[in-house]
């Protein structure tokens, strides 16, 4: 039996709307550099996955992707703005209802690795159930793995976990809630940055990420990020 097609979709928003909760601590260029660093780490995880067959970045504005090596991903430039709307447009365009599995991965997960990604995917394949990876605060959604059902409404936002659970229930689907620090720690505010830097003191692999290197440089320049 052939392996199923598994397509990764990474919705990404660039300036001026990105990471506004960090605006008091990081200026516009610093936030842009942080977004690019985190996206680099997420793309590394998807490109090294044994199970993901394609990676597509979904964005309204692709001009900030010129510094990335395009061999590891494709770009879908949406005609609408808004993360949920852009995802819906892209998955419909790619005809995901009739072909394989989709995994939606937010682009601000610097600890994500191919090993963890593949474990999450196998969890869904083994149980034939969707998988939701919640954020480290337990209220948001960072990753969705599923077969895209008709008229599914994406609900990404600050408190999206319960909304996605209700959406799956409306489609008679019973998702598994997945948690690991690698899939949970999304960098949206200063507390998440502080958590990342604390974890890096205990785990040398975190120190090898581009996100850590970027934040460490900012700390050396300013004495602190906050």
Which pLDDT value is given to residue 127?
A: 97
| DSSP string for 29-67 | HHHHHHHHHHHHHHHHHHHH-SS--EEEEEES--GGGTT
* Separation of alpha carbons 207 and 21, rounded Å: 24
In a domain, 207, yes or no: yes
Which pLDDT value is given to residue 220?
A: 72
User: Two tokens at 226?
Assistant: 């906050």
Residue 105: name the closest of 140, 136, 126, 133 by CA.
133
In a domain, 133, yes or no: yes
In a domain, 111, yes or no: yes
Hey, which residues does 57 pair with through a beta bridge? 10, 75
In a domain, 148, yes or no: yes
Hey, which residues does 6 pair with through a beta bridge? 101
Instruction: Return the sign of the alpha-carbon dihedral for residues 204, 206, 208, 214.
Output: negative
In a domain, 45, yes or no: yes
Q: What is the pLDDT of residues 19-65, one digit of tens each?
A: 777 877 788 888 888 999 999 999 999 999 999 999 999 998 877 77
Domain count within the chain: 1
- CATH code of the domain in which 66 resides: 3.90.550.10
0.85 surpassed by pTM: yes
Residue 32, number of CB atoms within 10 A of its CB: 17
In a domain, 99, yes or no: yes
Residue 208: name the closest of 31, 40, 4, 18 by CA.
40
How would you class 102 by CB atoms within 10 Å of its CB: exposed for 0-12, middle for 13-18, buried for 19 or more?
Answer: buried
15 neighbors 62 (Cβ within 8 angstroms): no
In a domain, 1, yes or no: no
Q: What is the pLDDT of residues 93-125, one digit of tens each?
A: 887 665 689 999 999 999 999 999 999 999 999
**Of 148 and 68, which is predicted with more confidence?**
148
In a domain, 225, yes or no: no
* Separation of alpha carbons 190 and 192, rounded Å: 5
- As a whole number, the mean pLDDT across the chain is 89
Domain that holds residue 99: 6-219
């Amino acid at each position: 039996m052939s392996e199923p097609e598994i397509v990764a979709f990474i919705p990404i928003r660039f300036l001026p709307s990105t990471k506004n909760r960090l605006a008091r601590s990081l200026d516009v260029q610093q936030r842009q550099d942080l977004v690019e660093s985190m996206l680099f780490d997420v793309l590394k995880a998807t490109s090294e996955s044994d199970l993901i067959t394609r990676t597509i970045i979904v964005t309204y504005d692709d001009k900030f992707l010129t510094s990335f090596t395009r061999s590891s991903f494709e770009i879908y430039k949406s005609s609408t703005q808004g993360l949920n709307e852009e995802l819906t447009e892209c998955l419909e365009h790619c005809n995901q209802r009739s072909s394989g599995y989709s995994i939606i991965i937010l682009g601000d997960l610097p600890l994500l690795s191919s090993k963890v990604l593949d474990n999450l995917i196998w969890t869904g394949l083994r149980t034939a159930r969707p998988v939701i990876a919640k954020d480290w605060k337990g209220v948001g959604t960072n990753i969705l793995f599923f077969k895209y059902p008709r008229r599914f409404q994406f609900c990404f936002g600050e408190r999206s976990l319960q909304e996605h659970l209700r959406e799956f229930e409306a489609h008679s689907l019973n998702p598994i809630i997945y948690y690991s620090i690698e899939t949970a720690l999304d960098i949206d505010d200063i507390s998440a940055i502080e958590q990342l830097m604390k974890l890096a003191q205990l785990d040398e692999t975190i120190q090898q990420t581009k996100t850590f290197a970027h934040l460490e440089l900012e700390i050396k320049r300013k004495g602190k990020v906050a």
